[in-house]
Amino acid sequence: MIGKKLGIDLGTANSVVYVQGEGIVFVEPTVVAIDVNNYKVIAVGTEAKEMIGKTPDNIVAKRPLRNGVIADSRVTEALLKYFFDKALGKARFFKPDVVISVPAGITTVEQRAVLKAANSAGAKNITLLPEPLLAALGAGLPIETSSGNMIVNMGGGTSEIAVLSLDGIVKYDSLRVAGDAINEAIITYMRKKKGILIGEQTAEKVKFEIGSALEMSKPLEMEVRGRDIGAGVPKAIMVNSNDIAQAVKSPLKKIILSIKGVLEQTPPELSADIIDRGMVVTGGTALLRNIDRLIAKATGVPAHVADEPIYCVAKGTGIALELISSGKRVFVFEKSIT
């Protein structure tokens, strides 16, 4: 494993790991299960996510990242070490070079927390790059040119809207409203309108199976099971796509306002390019049905979802690894430690 380099899309909900020469090697939920009595890590990733809402008092399944930034550095360190071991094997003689994605609006303190966690987990040269830049690289946008490119990257904890040109971010907004906020909106809607209490995992399942950003003429339906608020007993109800479209209006409205804000601040020459090319939507929340139609309808600017939107940032880390190591490109935001 000499000279292996890793790219990590360190997301609030899911993390994607890229290994140089191999491509994307795995996707894992960003969840760690811990025994609170001795702070020992019980499980990481998919195994830990399955424990959410089902653990005894001494075990806590938690997300170490909130809104795209580290909320618990010790748990994040354990998570990164698990990623390194799974991608490269435990028996390695050289520390890997790593590119990690971070929100564009990350503070200096938050940057230091990521660098410290990665360093403690066993990384050597660590480079932080903003998610919108990496998403644009992974989506194949020509951001090295002087023309304007617009990206809307919606993950679990943050929505990153940016206009890019000449390998840098010209205007951006980092909004802490994304997939998690949409899940919360679905939970709230089910409680208030349907009289049923559901968990986070059920809300996410509903979102991906029948969710839509706009009402549909032929809505999809599914059975949702939870707890009846009045009687306190298990209950199953039928829900359709139009119910979910109503539920998610509020968080999507905030994202639309943020997109409009970035468009208003964009220099006129770049605005002309964006009107011609449209904007590209990436991230896990881009998988919500009709999200591109909603954005286009609300802004008047064409929008389309990238191929494999959930992997765009991870692909971007791989491209950035190659470009940085070869010295071909220098990115404006680049923060690193060696």
Per-residue pLDDT of the chain (338 residues; tens, 9 = 90+): 456 789 999 888 899 999 988 999 999 999 999 988 888 888 888 899 888 878 888 898 888 888 778 888 888 888 898 888 888 887 677 788 899 998 888 888 888 888 998 998 888 888 999 999 999 999 999 999 999 999 999 998 899 999 999 988 999 999 989 999 999 999 999 999 999 999 988 999 999 999 999 999 999 999 999 999 988 999 999 999 999 999 999 999 999 999 999 999 999 999 999 999 999 999 999 999 999 999 999 999 999 999 999 999 999 999 998 888 777 766 755 444 54
Q: Are 48 and 32 in contact (CB under 8 A)?
A: yes
pTM of the entire predicted model: 0.89
List the structure tokens of 134: 């990496």
CA pair distance 266, 172, nearest whole angstrom? 9
First to last CA, the chain: 19
List the structure tokens of 70: 């580290």
User: What are the backbone angles phi and psi of residue 10, rounded to the nearest 5°?
Assistant: -85, 90
- Classify the phi-psi angles of 220: left when phi > 0, otherwise alpha if psi is within -120 to 50, otherwise beta: beta
CA-derived radius of gyration, the chain: 20
Q: Are 287 and 208 in contact (CB under 8 A)?
A: yes
CA pair distance 74, 258, nearest whole angstrom? 33
List the structure tokens of 228: 């009846």
CA atoms within 13 A on the CB side of 204: 15
13: amino acid identity, one letter: A
